[in-house]
Amino acid sequence: MTGSHSFLELILGASFVVQLVMLLLLTASVASWAIILRKRRVLQQATTGSDAFESTFWSGGDLTSIYRDITRDGATPTDMAGLFEAGFREFRRLAQQPGLGAEQILEGCHRAMRVAQLRETDRLEQSLAMLATIGSTSPYVGLFGTVWGIMNSFQAIGNVQSATLAMVAPGISEALIATAMGLFAAIPAVIAYNRYADKVTRLEVRFDAFTEEFSAILQRHAHAHARARDPREER
């Protein structure tokens, strides 16, 4: 039996359990592709945005001007700009409070950037667990449909005096379709999960490096601010 019509007939002629398995796998496949396309866009925007911000940041511009530019539209910055915004906003707030030393200001800025980084990482990792779940469970769900279909075929053989290949072929075919659908749902999900998890890890490394580099810059600003506020402070 060949052709799309025959393939459809096999699905429509399958038992209720096998049809339920196929529907579940089809839903999982659609959901995984929706996640794949959305996550591709999110990670691409995160990479592009971080590249653009790094280029602006290391061009030697004034920190206040950079902060004003990324917060001009009122929206909360994301990606690497979000880390900068959190750290510099905390620096400005703590620098206005009397009695705080440079180390206290720096500690507060570093903590604010770490919180922003955790939130950004959580945003980038969102739905990756779903891809991992679909990739790891779909083959077993398809295998369950296969076993059920073959079991029905053997039961049909036992109810007749003489069995032919034509009698058991439809049941075995529908069982193999369930296996194929399980693989169809699992393979793209596994590939996308591995690829996107690697991209998230690379972005985390970049965020860590920027946090440490920006902390060093803020440390110099914090000591300069403390000396300006108290000329007696040791240089």
Q: Could you tell me the pLDDT band of residue 15, with boundaries at 50, 70 and 90?
A: confident
Mean pLDDT of 70-93: 90
- Asked if residue 234 has pLDDT above 60, the reply is no
User: How much is the pLDDT for 23?
Assistant: 92
**Contact in structure between 197 and 135 (CB atoms under 8 Å):** no
pLDDT at residue number 161? 59
What pLDDT does 148 receive? 85
Dihedral angle computed from the Cα positions of residues 144, 148, 153 and 155, in that order, rounded to the nearest 10 degrees: 140
pLDDT of residue 176: 85
- pLDDT per residue as tens digits for the range 169-205: 666 777 788 899 999 999 999 999 999 999 999 999 9
- Taking the CA atoms of 29, 35, 38 and 39 in sequence, report the sign of the dihedral they define: negative
pTM above 0.85, yes or no: no
Confidence band, pLDDT 50/70/90 cuts, at residue 225:
low
Instruction: Give residue-wise pLDDT tens across range 112-142.
Output: 999 999 999 999 999 999 999 999 999 999 9
- Tell me if 15 sits within 8 A of 149, measured CB to CB: yes
Query: How far apart are alpha carbons 219 and 214 in whole angstroms?
Result: 8
| DSSP secondary structure of 8-42 | HHHHHTS-HHHHHHHHHHHHHHHHHHHHHHHHHHH
Collect all residues with Cβ–Cβ distance below 8 Å to 89 and sequence separation of at least 6: 67, 112
Confidence of residue 206 (pLDDT cuts 50, 70, 90): very high
Q: Are 189 and 134 in contact (CB under 8 A)?
A: yes
The answer on pLDDT for 5 being more than 50 is no
